Chains A and B, each alone.
Chain A
Amino acid sequence: MKVEREELKGTISEMKRKGYDYLVKITAVDYADKLEAVYVLRNISESKDEIIEVDMPATDAWVPTIIDVHLSADWYEREMGEMFGIEIRGRRAGRLLLEKWDGVDPPLRKSFTWSAPYRNMDSPQ
């Protein structure tokens, strides 16, 4: 199910009312031309999963927070934000969850390049 990011929070609250009250995972995929945030929701009593996908351009990457709907979104959102450089709007900026990456690109984006072999040999440091 694809939704716009402006409607994301409303959709997830609506799903929670319908019985999808368990958040399995928040993650993201970098499809070169766009970023896609993926929300996996679950209806425990009927054991049904629902995957919600939110597309966004890579240059303007943000999603609204859903932490007040699902408390478990806390760490998932932080991880996704750090790994994909996606801004999570509406929540207090906190400490980075994982180690701070010293490179320019967020590590799980496809534009992230692995460091070249034999680098830094000539530099004085």
Chain B
Amino acid sequence: MPVTRINIGPVHPSTHGVIRLEVDLDGDTIVDVEPHIGFLHRGVEKLVETRMYMQCPPYMEKLDYVAPMAFNEAYVSAVEAAMGIEVKERAQYLRTMLLELQRIASHLFGIGTLCNDLGQMFTVFMWAFKDRDIVLDLLQEAAGSRMFYVNMRLGGLNQDIGPEFHGHAMKVMDYMERRIGEYEDYIEKNPIFMERMRGVGVLSAEQAKNLGVTGPVLRASGVNFDARKNNPYYIYSKLNFNPKVLTSGDNFARYKVKMLEMRESIRIVRSVLESLPGGDALGMPVKLRSPNPANRIATSSRELPRGEVFMYLVADPQKPYRLSIRSPNFINLAALRHMSKGARMADLFAIMGSLDLVMGGVDR
């Protein structure tokens, strides 16, 4: 049978951004997929070389517009490492909590869009967005903004949380825990969902390491690596928390890891709120400060909702000399080709949905 080449994107209902896929089909089976990226390339790595250190966070946030705060935090922590700044203790707790809230919001987005890609009529998508909105309310209260926060300052945050935050957060966490249970009931009891997710897009542990995938994709394949546990930062070493690892490596495992991680995040937020120390959480105002010349190269490795970000910063006085960003979306997308060979045409978007890509992070 001759191979049909079809072109998907850059504008397509379920590509989650601007990406073009060249798909070679033999009947209904995928022979090869070639992703074409670069439609959202903004040259951020070059741009930050012309900006002062604390002018860069807004650019960083646009790299992953679903979990902006987490990306920003990875950058700020690299700058802090270059300058040798210690983060205040209360700020460490608060950052941990905000990052976990961001993870919940981001995973809800991922699960909603995954269900959409599986051909659902926006139902789980809308539910997830409603709940994500509630988490965003919480983030707004803590950080002052809903979508792009820019709330990280060197050594701390731009503002402390208010006195009512504790009560609100506890209430939202109870609500989220109940809702996540409802999602699991609804989604996993659906036989169509299960048969489209189980055994599709399988990635073995060996393949996953070789392809360099990160985050939930790596852990769903049975590789136990979570930067929060393996290279602990902030107060993660003090928290009693376990990375969620599944072994089947298929679409369902990647979905399930996200569900389990949300529950774990709820636990982390609760325990952080309970053990929150007093004191000051404010960081430095946005101003110039020269980094330590002896420590020119700084790295920071952070576990984002979508995977690990690795920042490689060569510092100059005032400006970054070179900032290299390892984005989890980029390398997870590179694995798409290997995962979808031999799958069905309809599974291509199930696999892409389970990778949970954000194109802003792929192109940078």
Chain A residues near B (Cβ < 8 Å) = 21-25, 27-30, 38, 40, 44, 47, 49, 51, 70-72, 74-76, 79, 83, 95, 97-99, 107-108, 112, 114
Question: Any chain A CB within 8 A of the CB of B223?
Answer: yes
Question: Any chain A CB within 8 A of the CB of B65?
Answer: no
Q: For residue A29, which residues in chain B have a CB less than 8 angstroms away from its CB?
A: 314, 321-322, 324
- Given A29-B324, A70-B212, A72-B334, 4 extra CB contacts under 8 A: A44-B209, A44-B225, A72-B211, A98-B41
Pick the contact of B334: A25, A27, A74, A107 (CB < 8 A). Answer: A74
Q: Do the beta carbons of A70 and B326 come within 8 Å of each other?
A: no
Q: For residue A95, which residues in chain B have a CB less than 8 angstroms away from its CB?
A: 34
Chain B proximity of A96: nearest CB distance (Å): 8
What is the bound-complex CA distance between A91 and B323, given in angstroms?
A: 27
Q: Residue-by-residue, is B34-68 near A (CB-CB < 8 Å gives 1, otherwise 0)?
A: 10011101010110001000000000000000000
Q: For residue A38, which residues in chain B have a CB less than 8 angstroms away from its CB?
A: 312, 324
Given contacts A47-B230, A99-B41, A27 and B324 within 8 Å (CB-CB): yes
Chain A proximity of B10: nearest CB distance (Å): 12
Given contacts A47-B231, A107-B46, A21 and B310 within 8 Å (CB-CB): no
Smallest CB-CB A-B distances: 10 pairs? A72-B212, A47-B230, A27-B324, A98-B38, A25-B326, A75-B334, A99-B38, A71-B210, A29-B322, A44-B225
Question: Any chain A CB within 8 A of the CB of B330?
Answer: yes
In residues 218-266 of chain B, which contact A (Cβ within 8 Å)? Answer: 223-225, 230-231
Chain A proximity of B254: nearest CB distance (Å): 18
Q: For residue A21, which residues in chain B have a CB less than 8 angstroms away from its CB?
A: 209-210
What is the bound-complex CA distance between A107 and B18, given in angstroms?
A: 22
Chain A proximity of B75: nearest CB distance (Å): 15
Question: Any chain A CB within 8 A of the CB of B331?
Answer: yes
What is the bound-complex CA distance between A28 and B43, given in angstroms?
A: 15
Question: Any chain A CB within 8 A of the CB of B356?
Answer: no
Given contacts A99-B38, A107-B43, A49 and B225 within 8 Å (CB-CB): no
Given contacts A25-B310, A30-B322, A47-B231, A97 and B225 within 8 Å (CB-CB): no
- Total number of B residues with any Cβ neighbor in A under 8 Å: 34
Q: For residue A76, which residues in chain B have a CB less than 8 angstroms away from its CB?
A: 331
Residue of A nearest to B36 (CB): A95
Question: Any chain A CB within 8 A of the CB of B100?
Answer: no
Q: Do the beta carbons of B331 and A22 come within 8 Å of each other?
A: no
Q: Do the beta carbons of A108 and B45 come within 8 Å of each other?
A: yes
Residue of A nearest to B231 (CB): A47
Q: For residue A22, which residues in chain B have a CB less than 8 angstroms away from its CB?
A: 209, 212, 225
Q: Do the beta carbons of A97 and B38 come within 8 Å of each other?
A: yes
Q: Residue-by-residue, is B190-215 near A (CB-CB < 8 Å gives 1, otherwise 0)?
A: 00000000000000000001111100
Residue of B nearest to A25 (CB): B326
Q: Do the beta carbons of A71 and B211 come within 8 Å of each other?
A: yes
Q: What are 12 A-to-B residue pairs whose CB atoms are below 8 Å?
A: A22-B225, A24-B301, A27-B326, A40-B310, A44-B225, A51-B299, A70-B210, A71-B212, A98-B38, A99-B41, A108-B46, A112-B46
Question: Any chain A CB within 8 A of the CB of B303?
Answer: no
Q: For residue B39, which residues in chain A have a CB less than 8 angstroms away from its CB?
A: 99
Pick the contact of A25: B210, B225, B312 (CB < 8 A). Answer: B312
Q: For residue B73, which residues in chain A have a CB less than 8 angstroms away from its CB?
A: none
Given contacts A70-B210, A72-B210, A112-B46, A49 and B38 within 8 Å (CB-CB): no
What is the bound-complex CA distance between A25 and B331, given in angstroms?
A: 9
What is the bound-complex CA distance between A22 and B211, given in angstroms?
A: 8
Chain A proximity of B236: nearest CB distance (Å): 13
Residue of A nearest to B226 (CB): A47
What is the bound-complex CA distance between A68 and B46, given in angstroms?
A: 30
What is the bound-complex CA distance between A23 and B310, given in angstroms?
A: 11
Given contacts A30-B322, A98-B37, A107-B46, A40 and B330 within 8 Å (CB-CB): no
Q: For residue B131, which residues in chain A have a CB less than 8 angstroms away from its CB?
A: none
What is the bound-complex CA distance between A40 and B312, given in angstroms?
A: 10
Q: For residue B312, which residues in chain A have a CB less than 8 angstroms away from its CB?
A: 25, 27, 38, 40
Question: Any chain A CB within 8 A of the CB of B32?
Answer: no
Q: For residue B80, which residues in chain A have a CB less than 8 angstroms away from its CB?
A: none
Residue of B nearest to A98 (CB): B38
Chain A proximity of B291: nearest CB distance (Å): 16
What is the bound-complex CA distance between A108 and B312, given in angstroms?
A: 15
